[in-house]
């Protein structure tokens, strides 16, 4: 816990949580019910900041991935992982909140709203990047694969959004959301800032965790060269797949 | 530039030749697509209006599922025999390797579609397509949209354990726009296009292809280096 | 206020509750012993 990255991360998380809680408090207890949605409209104060933060962290991941790919520096790799993971967690939250929002307002748990659908596609696309990381043992290759898949997934964001928007709008009228009231600005702004700071802190912590893991992996002693195992049924001796692994 | 182009054609020729020599596998792929189409029809039931309405969707899901089998083995020969390094040392520019393989995969997907489209039309009772040239254009654009990121991810996952699962997981979310556009455009060609929406969907497909054929070609060097 | 949806606090609490629970839970997984500093140091 002595590392500056972890300390800064924790400070950000605490500050961000305080700001988010303040924004949510105003949204839940001070702000008047939303004109059309009533009290259900208060979900917006958690939903909209989550959406903004998720998108920003995918953007951060994209930039870090480009740096990671062209510099090969381990810090960028850890930062990409941190940003993708925080963005994915927020996107999953976004889907849950969106479902909860859709039930009372549109009378369904799921609708092909472009934003909801794009979030689902994004959660899948970035979630798989994290899964893929777990399956690659070689650090250099893992760094390359993570960066490349992150870049490709991020480039897909606008394409998915516009295609789904177009596709859904031909089926049903475009979903209308509550127009922004001026009284909504304060809790939204405070909660959004808080989410962003909290997310940054979580991302820094996750980056530190990844750096520790990568350093641990790099410090680990090399495996001794594996001798070809004696195979009685194979006259040539040895398993070609084992040679490949060394 | 001309060298990259010539190399691309050489790789394309090599891959198609390999496919031709192992044509039993290609035939099996055609059978797979046909069986998938049949299964979709069974799953939805014998309601013929429903089947005809969704004929475009079945076609593209069958092609997408077939593509994962096709892509999965597209680099397997090279990886298993360590020929990838030899190819790069030859030297084949990485971009030429990517474009050659992606073109070969797109071509094979179009070949699968040559069988899948008639089967789809027959099973779903969607009838005769009035404008086969337009349908062919959509099939080519859609196949290209699957082939470029598909070939790219096949190379990325070629040496990872669990690639059979990872490749579709990476590919499916990515090709959602291409899938939407292909299905929509195909349905419009099959059932008529009273509201003139077709050009828009084809334009979307062209954009998707342009983005991923250039981006994947650009990044491929990093993939084969790593 | 015609057409305003009545009630629905249950949905609001569910949305906020799940969000905070997941974020706090995620934070806990990050600060577990051994994750921010190498094991054995």
Average confidence (pLDDT) over B177-205: 88
Point out the residue among C8, C18, C36 whose CB comes nearest to the CB of A104. Answer: C8
CA distance B174 to chain A (A): 7
Q: Per the structure, how many domains does chain A have?
A: 1
CA distance C14 to chain A (A): 8
pLDDT of residue C27: 94
pLDDT of residue C6: 61
Q: Which residue has the higher pLDDT, B50 or C4?
A: B50
Q: What is the ipTM of this complex?
A: 0.88
pLDDT of residue B122: 86
Point out the residue among A145, A160, A162 whose CB comes nearest to the CB of B156. Answer: A145
Average confidence (pLDDT) over B191-218: 89
C-beta atoms of A10 and C26 within 8 A? no
Best mutation target, A70, A156, A243, A244, to test chain B (most B CBs within 10 A): A156
C-beta atoms of C15 and A2 within 8 A? no
- Cα–Cα distance for residue pair B74/A228, rounded to 1 Å: 29
What b/e string do you get for A60-88 counting C-beta neighbours within 10 Å, with b at 16 or more? bbbbbbbbbbeeeebbbbbbbbbbbbbbb
pLDDT digits (tens, 9 = 90+) for B153-186: 999 998 888 888 899 999 999 999 999 999 999 9
pLDDT at residue B59 is higher than 80? yes
- Cα–Cα distance for residue pair B75/B84, rounded to 1 Å: 8
- Chain B residues contacting A, CB < 8 Å? 149, 152-153, 156-157, 159-162, 166, 169-170, 172-174, 176-177, 180-181, 184, 197, 200, 204, 207-208, 211-212, 215-216, 219, 222-223, 225-226
Block means of pLDDT (10 residues each) for chain A, 246 residues, are 84 94 88 75 88 94 95 94 96 92 81 84 94 90 94 92 77 47 77 94 94 86 64 54 49
Q: pLDDT band at B77, cuts 50/70/90?
A: confident
Answer whether A36 touches B (CB < 8 Å): no
Is residue A227 a part of any domain in this protein?
Answer: no
Cα end-to-end span (Å), chain B: 24
Answer whether A159 touches B (CB < 8 Å): yes
B120, B58 in Cβ contact below 8 A?
A: yes
Q: What is the CATH number of the domain that holds A204?
A: 1.20.120
Is residue A188 a part of any domain in this protein?
Answer: yes
Lowest-confidence segment of A23-37, A170-184, B23-37, B122-136 by average pLDDT: A170-184
pLDDT of residue A181: 56
Q: pLDDT band at B100, cuts 50/70/90?
A: very high
C-beta atoms of A124 and B215 within 8 A? no
Answer whether A116 touches B (CB < 8 Å): no
pLDDT of residue C2: 45
Is residue A164 a part of any domain in this protein?
Answer: yes
> Which is nearest to A158 in space by CA: B172, B176, B152?
B176
Best mutation target, A38, A178, A213, to test chain C (most C CBs within 10 A): A38
Is residue A187 a part of any domain in this protein?
Answer: yes
Interface of A with B in 53-92 (CB under 8 A): 69
Which residue is it, tokens 């899901």? B61
C-beta atoms of C15 and A10 within 8 A? no
State whether residue A34 is helix, strand or coil.
strand
Highest-pLDDT range among A14-18, A97-101, B7-11, B50-54: A14-18
pLDDT of residue A170: 53
Query: Would you list the domain boundaries of chain B?
Result: 2-225
Lowest-confidence segment of A97-111, B56-70, B210-224 by average pLDDT: A97-111
Which residue is it, tokens 């084949």? B92
CA distance B34 to chain A (A): 27
Best mutation target, C21, C22, C27, to test chain A (most A CBs within 10 A): C27
Point out the residue among B176, B200, B215 whose CB comes nearest to the CB of A121. Answer: B176
Peptide bond into A56 cis (omega under 30): no
pLDDT of residue A182: 60
Partner chains of C (3+ C-beta pairs under 8 Å)? A
pLDDT of residue B142: 96
pLDDT at residue C14 is higher than 80? yes
Q: pLDDT band at C10, cuts 50/70/90?
A: confident
Which residue is it, tokens 């520096």? A73
Average confidence (pLDDT) over B7-12: 88
Partner chains of B (3+ C-beta pairs under 8 Å)? A
- Cα–Cα distance for residue pair A95/A43, rounded to 1 Å: 13
Cα end-to-end span (Å), chain C: 63
pLDDT of residue B79: 83
pLDDT of residue A241: 53
Task: Please tell me which residue of chain C has the smallest CA distance to A206.
Answer: C30
Answer whether A171 touches B (CB < 8 Å): no
pLDDT of residue A129: 95
Domain that holds residue A80: 4-172+183-215
C-beta atoms of C4 and A33 within 8 A? yes
CB atoms within 10 A of CB B200: 15
Q: HSE-up of A209 (CA within 13 Å, CB side)?
A: 24
Radius of gyration of chain A (CA): 23
pLDDT of residue A11: 94
């Amino acid at each position: 816990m002595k590392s500056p990255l972890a300390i800064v991360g924790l400070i950000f998380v605490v500050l961000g949580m305080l700001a988010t809680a303040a924004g949510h408090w105003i949204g839940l207890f001070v702000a008047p019910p939303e004109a059309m949605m009533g009290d259900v409209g208060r979900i917006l104060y958690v939903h909209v900041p989550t959406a903004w933060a998720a998108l920003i962290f995918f953007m951060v991941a994209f930039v870090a991935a480009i740096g990671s790919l062209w510099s090969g520096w381990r810090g960028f790799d850890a930062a990409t992982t941190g940003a993708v993971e925080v963005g994915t967690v927020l996107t999953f939250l976004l889907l849950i909140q969106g479902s909860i929002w859709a039930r009372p307002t549109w009378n369904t748990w799921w609708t092909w709203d472009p934003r909801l659908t794009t979030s689902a596609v994004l959660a899948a696309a970035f979630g798989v990047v994290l899964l893929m990381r777990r399956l690659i043992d070689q650090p250099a290759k893992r760094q390359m694969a993570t960066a490349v898949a992150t870049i490709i997934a991020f480039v897909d964001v606008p394409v998915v959004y516009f295609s789904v928007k177009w596709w859904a709008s031909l089926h049903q009228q475009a979903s209308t959301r509550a127009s922004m009231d001026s009284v909504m600005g304060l809790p939204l702004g405070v909660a959004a800032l808080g989410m962003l700071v909290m997310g940054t802190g979580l991302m820094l912590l996750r980056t530190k965790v990844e750096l520790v893991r990568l350093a641990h992996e790099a410090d680990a002693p090399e495996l001794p060269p594996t001798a070809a195992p004696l195979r009685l049924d194979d006259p040539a001796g040895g398993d070609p797949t084992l040679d490949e692994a060394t | 530039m001309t060298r990259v182009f010539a190399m691309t054609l050489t790789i394309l020729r090599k891959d198609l030749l390999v496919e031709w020599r192992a044509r039993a596998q290609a035939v099996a792929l055609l059978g797979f697509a046909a069986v998938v189409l049949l299964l979709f029809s069974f799953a939805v039931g014998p309601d013929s209006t429903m089947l005809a309405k969704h004929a475009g969707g079945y076609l593209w899901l069958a092609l997408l599922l077939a593509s994962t089998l096709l892509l999965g083995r597209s680099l397997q020969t090279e990886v298993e025999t360590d020929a990838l390094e030899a190819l790069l040392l030859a030297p084949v520019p990485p971009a030429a390797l990517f474009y050659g393989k992606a073109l070969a995969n797109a071509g094979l997907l179009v070949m699968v579609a040559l069988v899948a489209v008639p089967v789809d039309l027959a099973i779903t009772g969607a009838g005769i397509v009035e404008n086969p040239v337009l349908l062919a254009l959509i099939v080519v654009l859609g196949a290209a949209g699957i082939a470029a990121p598909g070939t790219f991810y096949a190379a990325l996952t070629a040496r990872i354990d669990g690639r059979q699962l990872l490749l579709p997981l990476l590919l499916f979310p990515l090709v959602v726009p291409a899938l939407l556009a292909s299905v929509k455009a195909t349905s419009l060609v099959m059932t008529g296009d009273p509201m003139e929406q077709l050009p828009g969907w084809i334009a979307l497909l062209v954009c998707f292809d342009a983005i991923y054929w250039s981006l994947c070609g650009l990044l491929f060097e990093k993939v084969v280096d790593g | 206020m015609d057409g305003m949806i009545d009630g629905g606090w249950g949905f609001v609490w569910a949305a906020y509750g799940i969000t905070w629970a997941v974020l706090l839970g995620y934070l806990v997984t990050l600060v577990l012993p051994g994750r921010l500093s190498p094991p054995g140091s």
